[in-house]
């Protein structure tokens, strides 16, 4: 039986009774069907790792704002290598469709300020109340 989601992002809030401090952490949870349906194998290690790192910055709308340096640090590679991995992920298609989109913003028409990545529902990565697309059987 196939799950509705192969991969999900779960949040957990912890409260310290001694300090009164609250901390919310997010976890990427992968179901074994993500491997069995071929998604991870088709993505390959570099794109899979890059997708997981970008998704770790996801907000409730599926939008992510990591910098190239943050992506590189999380992957343990140079910025140039991280950029290569991100471009490969942006070019990748699952069932003929992109799994992630990037929109770059400029500061006053000059230098690039940031890139907003959106993890699309076909990727099977879901967060908060979002819903993954059903994959073909």
* 85 membership: H or E segment, kind and range: helix 79-91
Whether pLDDT at 133 is above 60: no
Q: What is the pLDDT of residues 55-80, one digit of tens each?
A: 888 876 778 899 999 999 999 999 99
**Beta carbons within 10 angstroms of residue 89's beta carbon:** 24
Q: What is the pLDDT of residues 6-51, one digit of tens each?
A: 666 677 788 888 888 888 777 777 767 777 778 888 999 999 999 9
| pLDDT bucket at 124, cuts 50 / 70 / 90 | low
Q: What is the C-alpha to C-alpha distance for residues 9 and 56, in angstroms, rounded to an integer?
A: 8
Position 130 scores a pLDDT of: 47
Nearest to 57 by CA among 45, 47, 70: 70
Most confident of 58-62, 102-106, 120-124: 102-106
Q: Give the domains, in start order, of the chain with CATH numbers.
A: 7-121 (1.10.10.10)
Nearest to 124 by CA among 52, 45, 60: 52
Nearest to 6 by CA among 35, 27, 26: 35
pTM value is: 0.73
């Amino acid at each position: 039986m196939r799950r509705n989601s192969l991969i999900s992002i779960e949040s957990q809030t912890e409260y310290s009774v001694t300090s009164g401090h609250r901390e919310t952490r997010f976890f990427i949870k992968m179901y074994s069907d993500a491997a069995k349906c071929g998604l991870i194998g088709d993505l390959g290690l570099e794109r899979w790792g890059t997708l997981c790192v970008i998704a770790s910055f996801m907000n409730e709308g599926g939008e992510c704002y990591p910098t190239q340096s943050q992506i590189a640090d999380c992957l343990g590679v140079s910025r140039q290598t991280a950029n290569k991995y991100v471009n490969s992920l942006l070019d990748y298609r699952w069932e003929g469709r992109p799994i992630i989109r990037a929109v770059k913003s400029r500061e006053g028409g000059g230098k690039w300020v940031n890139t907003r990545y959106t993890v699309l529902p076909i990727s099977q990565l879901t967060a908060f109340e979002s819903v993954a697309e059903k994959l073909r059987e």
